Structure 1
Amino acid sequence: MRLLLFLVFLVVPVLEVWLLIQVGSVIGGWQTVGLLAAAAVFGSWLMRREGRRAWRDLQESMRTGVLPERELADAALVLAGGLLLVTPGFFSDLVGLLCILPFTRPWARRLGGWFFERRVKRMAEASPYANLFPPQPGPAPSDARGGEPRAKVVHGEVIRDDTD
């Protein structure tokens, strides 16, 4: 994680400045500034459009009672992509477009899910409580509807002692 933060905060700005200098030397300084301003305006418009769509999908899933996993991930990607698009720089604009465009967002969602799953597993293994609940051998029992595996159900009787 430290290496990732190092890359983000040191290498990416250097890459952005290098790209700005390269583009500026090819098309000119004012044209580069105009291109960055146009990218920021386009990014704002695209973030507003895709943000509305993500919000509408989120509301629809909440109204139908479906767990909004994909919709929440899409909303987060639209927000992150929009912020990257209004940040000056061509590399950040490219990454922002990958996060915000509807046809590249599923790829970004899978990549983010893979990254966060690995991160959570690594944090859980490093936790002092990791040995309290060791994984059970064998397959987990599946849901009666054929869905996701669920925890083992222990049947019992609740006895209340209401002697107040």
Structure 2
Amino acid sequence: MFAKLFLTMVSVSLLEIYVLIKVGGFLGAWPTVALVVITAFVGSALVRSQGLQVLQQLQQRIARGESPGQQLIEGFMLLVTGVLLVTPGFVTDFVGLLILQPGIRSKAAKFLLANVKLNSTISGGFYQSSAGSPFGDDLKPKKDDKNIIEGEFERKDDDKR
């Protein structure tokens, strides 16, 4: 996993450098820098406005008692888009602007919602998952463990006694 992530990051960085050099050779250094700054500024403003729209849709779905799964995924996609747009370069800006298109983002969110399965729950303060605990299986409580005592507690300050 680390090797794939590393290879992806290095490849994207090299591609960005290559495109920046090509565009800089065509337009010149200062217009290229200005274009990168302008795309970051405009992209940030667009991400903010669309993020507020997604948040409003999320609140409406929750108020109607519907599952807000698609809006949550779209919100995460907008977060990633914001990072892509403020990252200097034209390739990441292009990908970010693609995700900013509501139709593309909506279709991608529906695809992810239909094809990605998450099986994690939080219960009793312990992480439980069908895929196993990220902390190791020995830290996951067993359902038949007789040493678990459920209860409530109240913390009292020493100076109030």
TM-score norm. by structure 1 comes to 0.66
Q: Which runs of 5+ in 1 are unaligned?
A: 130-164
* SS of corresponding position for 1:88: coil
What is the aligned length?
A: 125
Matches within 5 A, 1:21-32: 21-32=21-32
Counterpart-to-counterpart distance in 2, 1:58 and 1:110: 15
Q: Extract structure 1 runs of 4+ deviating beyond 2 A.
A: 1-4, 106-117
RMSD of equivalent CA atoms: 2.6
Higher strand share: 2
Shift of 1:9: 1.7
Report the equivalent of 1:54.
Answer: 54
Counterpart-to-counterpart distance in 2, 1:100 and 1:38: 16
Counterpart-to-counterpart distance in 1, 2:14 and 2:116: 26
CA shift digits 1:26-49 (9 cap, x unpaired): 111000001001101111110111
CA shift digits 1:121-146 (9 cap, x unpaired): xx95xxxx9xxxxxxxxxxxxxxxxx
Residue 5 of structure 2 is aligned to residue 5 of structure 1: yes
Q: Which runs of 5+ in 2 are unaligned?
A: 120-129, 132-136, 138-161
* SS of corresponding position for 1:103: helix
Go from structure 1 to structure 2 and tell me whether the alpha carbon gap of 1:19 and 1:115 turns closer, same or farther (over 3 Å shift): farther
Query: In structure 1, what residue type is equivalent to 2:26?
Result: V
Residue pair 1:81, 1:96 contacting (<8 A) in 2 also: yes
Residue pair 1:98, 1:108 contacting (<8 A) in 2 also: no
Residue pair 1:80, 1:99 contacting (<8 A) in 2 also: no
Counterpart-to-counterpart distance in 2, 1:13 and 1:108: 24
